[in-house]
Amino acid sequence: MIYDTVIVGKGPAGVSAAIYLARANLRVLVIGKGYGALEGASVIENYYGFSEPIDARILHENGMKQAKRLGAEILEDEVIDISQNYEDGSFSVSTPNEKFLAKSVLLATGKARKNLKIPGFMDFLGKGISFCAICDGFFFKGKRIGVIGSGDYAAHEAQELVRFSKDITIFTNGKEAESDKFPPEVKFVKDKILKISGEDKVEKIETELNNYQIDGIFVAEGTAGAGDFALKLGIVTKDDNILVDSGYMTNIPGIFAAGDCIGGLLQIAKAVSDGANVSISIKSYLKNKNGKGK
């Protein structure tokens, strides 16, 4: 079974696209955790059509009910990987427990990654700090690797990294390990990170209880965002925004992006409109693709 579109993110952009695509009788799956762009906004009063301020969570629930009523499937889960199957050009979208096949993918994960607020973090970006195990794991072959994170996404990155090194430490930064998918060979450091230090490049992670010699750090906190997938898939970004053409398609045919992750006005109105617009473009992409018998 293959979906016409798997949408990553269930904020206003993703769900608006799902509404349009489901209404066009396409098979759509939305996967997301949390509230997307509605996270943080408690009460909304500038989105057209509501005479009284509306609670962000109610708007979010309304949108999901609306999409489901029209035939979209919605899965409350975290996407930890997206990859392309080169035989047929289809895509695999993975959650910690399942893998879904799709003819097209829409990234609607909201505004990209938050940088870590740890002293030294900004100084060593690109100097031993990476956001993508598949991209950069090779550079740390046989070295001491730290992964900052505690959930499924961190576990997934660690699984990639054990192919390159057996010396992997998960720094949960004060949290408990929240995934059962960590490879057995990793060590855990669970106290808070105080500082990342080194001369020209990362050399050490200092925590409340100890110091750890480290050659490279992979950041995998929270949920993977559009920026993380972009890195892995080779999608072109600019200023932390995913670059799309006038049809909201990225440089990889079949992968689209909409909402806050492509920049522009960070407003529900704009995200919803992106969702409507990208659906037209996805429909036309799928039509051409099917037309060519692929």
Give the binding site for a second copy (CB under 8 A). Answer: 12, 15-16, 19-20, 23, 45-52, 54, 59, 61-63, 65-66, 69-70, 264-265, 267-270, 272-277, 280
Q: Yes or no: say if 123 and 116 are a contact pair by the CB < 8 Å rule.
A: no
CA-closest candidate to residue 217, choices 173, 266, 271: 173
Q: By C-beta, is 238 or 292 nearer to a second copy?
A: 238
Closer to a second copy at the Cβ: 177 or 280?
280
- Pick the closer one to a second copy by CB: 18 or 168: 18
Residue 160 · residue 133 · CB < 8 Å: yes
**Closest distance between a second copy and the C-beta of residue 272, in Å?**
4
CA-nearest of 33, 28, 108 to 67 is: 28
Strands 202-207 and 211-213: antiparallel
Q: Least distance in Å: CB of 65 to a second copy?
A: 4
- Among residues 46 and 210, whose Cβ is nearest to a second copy? 46
C-alpha R_g of the chain: 20
Closest approach, Cβ 149 to a second copy, in A, equals: 32
CB of 114 to a second copy, least distance (A): 24
CA gap 101, 266 in Å, rounded = 30
Q: State the burial class of residue 246 (Cβ atoms within 10 Å of its Cβ: 0-12, 13-18, 19+).
A: exposed
Amino acid at 50: F
In the complex with a second copy, which residue's Cβ is closer, 38 or 230? 38
**Contact (Cβ atoms closer than 8 angstroms) between residue 119 and residue 108:** no
Closer to a second copy by CB, 54 or 177: give it: 54
CB of 141 to a second copy, least distance (A): 46
* Smallest distance, a second copy to C-beta of residue 63, A: 5
- Among 56, 59, 98, which Cα is nearest to 75's? 98
Rounded to the nearest 10 degrees, the angle between the axes of helix 56-69 and helix 12-23 is 20
Least Å from the CB of residue 75 to a second copy? 19
Pairwise CA distance, residues 11 & 35, whole Å? 6
Nearer to a second copy, 61 or 245 (CB): 61
